[in-house]
Amino acid sequence: MYAKIFNFKFNGVAEAKVAASFISDAFGKLIVAHNMRSLNISIGKCGSLSIQTKFETGDDLKLFEIKANEIFTDLKQTFVYKEDTYAGVYIFNYEAEAIKAEVVAG
């Protein structure tokens, strides 16, 4: 599993919220087209924004990076922020599925 992590630091939480909304909408449209396996977006109380993506193949990741750069070009025209990104390979990953396993007698 391949990953791309984006970390942004905005001047405040309000800016991070607006940016998160913009990015979640834009990235959400790329899920199927780029065979995305996972997308997690989180906001920190200090105005940080973290985006974690997962892909099955390196080719999917590379094609996604091209589209992501286009999205971030638009973002850079609107906000001032610090950016840190890196690509990697997942060595260990655990995610519990959100299911309700309740049996109701009736």
Give the pLDDT score at 106. 63
Give the pLDDT score at 92. 79
Of 1-5, 22-26, 69-73, 99-103, the range with the lowest mean pLDDT is 99-103
What CA–CA distance (Å, rounded) separates 63 from 32? 12
What angle, rounded to 10 degrees, do the helices at 13-28 and 58-76 form? 140
Q: Architecture of domain 2-89 in CATH?
A: 2-Layer Sandwich (3.30)
Q: How confident is the model at residue 98 (pLDDT cuts 50, 70, 90)?
A: low
Give the pLDDT score at 32. 93
Q: C-alpha angle 75/85/61, rounded to 5°?
A: 90
CA distances in angstroms from 70 to 23, 66, 101, listed in the order given = 11, 7, 42
Give the pLDDT score at 99. 63
Extents of the domains making up the chain: 2-89
Give the pLDDT score at 27. 93
